[in-house]
């Protein structure tokens, strides 16, 4: 389970690669589009951005995984969007789009989880490291 400093360093490196390469590198990892998710801090009320990948894309809906590498606690970004589902998403360095985040229902997760682990088997390994069920989050444009 990666400590916060490692997770923050990975996000900083990801942003740096995107910036230095003018978006030529870092917009995709392992066949998954990368995206920047901006949530509102549940305690601070300030915007917080994190780089993630979307293993499943269905039209204009992006599915992200709150794995935190199999850590026993949810990532902060997940707790933020759980408390305030109004988020902003930039897919593959594209424009920032207001979206709504929601946690997949049990039925949706049952359908999506095999697709997620089919794209990136590491997520299945992360699930074996923790007793919490790793949530899947659906990001959809605001209507």
With H, G, I as helix, E, B as strand and everything else as coil, classify residue 35.
Answer: strand
- Which residue ranges make up each domain of the chain? 4-141
pLDDT digits (tens, 9 = 90+) for 91-122: 877 899 999 999 999 999 999 999 999 999 99
| Cβ contacts of 134 within 8 Å, gap of 6 or more | 65, 66, 67, 70, 123, 126, 127
Q: Could you give the CA distance from residue 103 to residue 136 in angstroms, rounded to a whole number?
A: 6
Within 13 Å and on the Cβ side, how many CA atoms surround 117? Answer: 14
Give the residue from 95, 104, 110 showing the smallest Cα distance to 138: 104
- Low-confidence spans in the chain with pLDDT less than 50: 14, 22
pTM: 0.83
4-141 to CATH, choices 1.20.120.790, 2.30.110.10, 1.10.10.10, 3.40.50.10210:
2.30.110.10
């Amino acid at each position: 389970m990666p400590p916060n400093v490692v997770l923050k360093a990975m996000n900083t490196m990801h942003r740096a690669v995107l910036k230095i390469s003018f978006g030529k590198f870092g917009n995709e990892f392992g066949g998954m589009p990368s995206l920047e998710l901006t949530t509102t801090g549940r305690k601070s009320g300030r915007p917080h951005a994190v780089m993630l990948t979307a293993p499943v894309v269905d039209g204009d809906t992006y599915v992200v995984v709150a794995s935190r590498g199999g850590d026993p606690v949810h990532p902060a970004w997940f707790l933020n969007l759980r408390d305030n589902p109004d988020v902003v998403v930039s897919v593959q360095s594209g424009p920032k789009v207001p979206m709504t985040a929601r946690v997949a229902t049990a039925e949706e997760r049952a359908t999506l989880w095999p697709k997620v682990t089919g794209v990136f088997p590491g997520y299945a390994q992360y699930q074996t490291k923790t007793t919490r069920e790793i949530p899947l989050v659906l990001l959809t444009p605001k209507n």
